[in-house]
Structure 1
Amino acid sequence: MNNIEDSSTLIYKVNTEESGMTLRDILYKKMKLSGRLTRKAKRNKKIFVNDNNISLDSRLREGDVVKVIMEDEKNKFEPQNIPIDVVYEDVDLLIINKQPYIVVHPTKSHPDNTIANGIANLLLNRKETFKIRFINRLDRDTSGLLMIAKNPFAQQILSKQMQNNIVEKSYIAVVRGVIEKDFGTIDEKIGLSGDEPMIRKVIESGQRSITHYEVIERFKNATLVRLKLETGRTHQIRVHMKHIGHPLVGDKLYGDTDSNNLISRQALHAESLKFLQPRTQKEIFVRAEIPVDIKQLLQKLRGE
């Protein structure tokens, strides 16, 4: 993809080797558009070659300029004055460092005061209008990096990268007990417990889930670890660490009920993301600073 104009416009210039390819093949094979996105743009007459609408079966020549305009969709979230910490942004995506104690998007139990409402307010102040499309999710009390696509093309490409395990997601956590091995992998299936709709557990009928961990620092009765996920199951880190006997400090849902004097949430932070920029395919690495409450927790543990 080249000649970037704005978030809603995709532009591609046909080179010598691509001369003779159909417009359809350029859209699918070179520009990587999905069938759904292509059909919608075609239906709305938003696909142009040299500023003209032509058949998808037309053959293109070197130097032809293909342009696809993705129509803006209205944002459905009510703007609310909630702090949003932007750590990376480009024409296709926004990445923020989410604070703890706030849900990502409205639900029945949390209809407002969410990250989505805060981003809507950010866009209102900027006079921007793109639809908010979350690529990943974080639990209410987990802090760290959230990816938001600015257009359906970026959503399509980044979601596929997530599915194909191209996006590298790294977390840090503080867990109960001292982990003896410096490195380890937990490959255990995760599913619903059956008793509580919120709680997951390792269960044979669950979905395969893989978590890699690395010990960063050991304390008297706790361990600081970095975790990388191959899969993205709900509560995966929390369930896997409990399963091996090391629940997250502050994670009352999964067994740590005696940590009010240390931290008032699970000590889990989405620290970094590595992925390919949707248009340029350039590798992007983004890191979010460890929040104050986890820093304070580490100071307490070092002082024990």
Structure 2
Amino acid sequence: MSTIKKTVIKDFEGRKIREYLKEELGLSSRLIKGAAIDKRIFVNNKAVKMNYVLKENEEVLINLCKEESQNITPEPMDLDIVYEDEDIIVINKRPNMVVHPTKRYQSGTLANGLLYYFKETNQKCIVRLVSRLDMDTSGLIIVAKNQYAHMELSKDMSQNNIEKRYLSVVHGNLENMEGTIDLPIYRPEGEGVIGRVIDERGQRSITHYKVVKRLADRDVVECLLETGRTHQIRVHLKALGHPIYGDTLYGYEEDSEIIGRQALHAYGLDFKSPRTKKSLSLRAELPEDIKKLI
């Protein structure tokens, strides 16, 4: 069971439990309301209402698990689980896999596989994505198992406290071995438009890069995202004149004969556990199709 348990200190004696949950535990009003309705908030092992007045040294416990469902069909799937605890699961997503069902892809998505895994391991969880990857990008994805973990990690993501590292293989050799790309990315108007462009009307977008391996006609480039725009790395590397191999949207269509998708892999995540604040540093090995390029 995923729970948060804490002993009341003197500073909160005489305060209502609602205030304690918001101020001491940092829980959102929405999470508190849902837990209160479901009677998942306890003091000394007894369910309490939100007007309960606390005493020093009482034990407060909130059960983060609740009965939830998603309109997604569970499907058996071979998942590469890099890390798992009671709050999160981190998956090394294979290439050519959609993360969440869409009108076009109702089956075979990561969410389908995760729901099956949760069911088989008796975990009452739905899929709460903290990070996402394009269908053809492989690598690490964080999924929260409960509302609290999702809230905390989403906040960390918005405050740039989750470090996301990627490896890509690009056409040609970059002029500088390392640097920062600070160019705004804009989504052009129009129905069905997928690609993004560099345009002053867009959002500020920052990518730090470093060439980690140089070959005669290509570079292996590590990218560290400071912002997280759609297609950010792909658009920024194209702007430097060095599109990613296999990226037929921003590069060359003939690349599809060399590699069947963009050579982009989310290999590293550094962040803190939402509950314990323990530092986590997770890595995922390059998949075989990218290894063959280098």
> Aligned in 2, Cα 1:31/1:108: closer, same or farther, shift over 3 Å?
same
Equivalent position to 1:277, from 253, 257, 273: 273
- Cα distance in 1 for residues equivalent to 2:230 and 2:178: 23
The percent identity for this pair of structures is 43
SS in 1 for 2:292: helix
What is the aligned partner in structure 1 of residue 59 from structure 2? 65
Q: Could you tell me which of 17, 20, 40 is aligned with 1:23?
A: 17
Deviates more, 1:96-105 or 1:64-73: 64-73
- Alignment-derived partner of residue 149 in structure 1: 144
Residue pair 2:43, 2:61 contacting (<8 A) in 1 also:
yes
TM-fit CA distance, 1:237: 0.6
Question: What is the correspondence of 1:1-304 to structure 2 with a 5 Å cutoff?
Answer: 6-7=1-2, 9-16=3-10, 18-54=12-48, 56=50, 58-70=52-64, 71-194=66-189, 197-298=193-294
C-alpha separation in 2, matches of 1:185 and 1:44: 49
Deviations 1:13-37 (A, max 9, x none): 2235554554233211221211110
Structure-1 separation of matches of 2:5 and 2:292: 48
Where do 5+ consecutive residues of structure 1 fail to align?
A: 1-5, 299-304
Work out the CA distance in 1 between the residues paired with 2:60 and 2:149. 18
Q: 1:136 touches 1:146 (CA, 8 Å); kept in 2? A: yes
CA distance in 2, matches of 1:232, 1:245: 21
The C-alpha deviation readout for 1:197-230, integer Å capped at 9, x for no partner, is 1111111111111111011011111111111111
Moved more, 32-41 or 60-69: 60-69
TM-score, length-scaled by structure 2: 0.93
Cα distance in 2 between the residues matched to 1:44 and 1:127: 20
Deviates most, 281-290 or 67-76: 67-76
Unaligned 5+ segments in structure 2 are: none
C-alpha distance in 1, partners of 2:42/2:117? 32
Return the alpha-carbon distance in structure 2 between the equivalents of residues 130 and 100 of structure 1.
25
Q: Is the 8 A contact 1:250 1:256 kept in 2?
A: yes
Residue 165 of structure 1: CA displacement?
0.6
Distance 2:112 2:40 in 1: 30
Closer/same/farther in 2, CA of residues 187 and 25 from structure 1, 3 Å limit = same
Name the TM-score, length of structure 1 as normaliser.
0.90
Q: Distance in 2 between matches of 1:202 and 1:58?
A: 55
Report how far residue 171 of structure 1 moved. Answer: 0.5
Q: CA RMSD in A?
A: 1.7
Output the CA distance in 1 between the equivalents of 2:167 and 2:39. Answer: 47
Aligned-pair distance for 1:236?
A: 0.6
Q: How much has 1:128 moved relative to structure 2?
A: 2.6
How many residues of Structure 1 are paired with residues of Structure 2 in the alignment? 292
Between 205-214 and 194-203, the greater mean CA deviation after superposition = 194-203
CA contact (8 A) 1:101 1:142 kept: yes
Deviations 1:115-163 (A, max 9, x none): 1111122223323331111111100100000111111111111111111
Structure 1: how far apart are the matches of 2:288 and 2:229?
A: 27
CA–CA separation in structure 2 for the residues paired with 1:100 and 1:276: 26
Q: Deviations over 1:167-193 (max 9, x none)?
A: 001111111110121211111111113
CA apart distance, 1:96 = 0.5
Q: Check the 8 A contact 1:170/1:228 in 2, yes or no.
A: yes
Q: Is the 8 A contact 1:46 1:68 kept in 2?
A: yes
SS in 1 for 2:139: strand
SS in 2 for 1:113: coil
Report which stretch shifted further, 229-238 or 52-61: 52-61
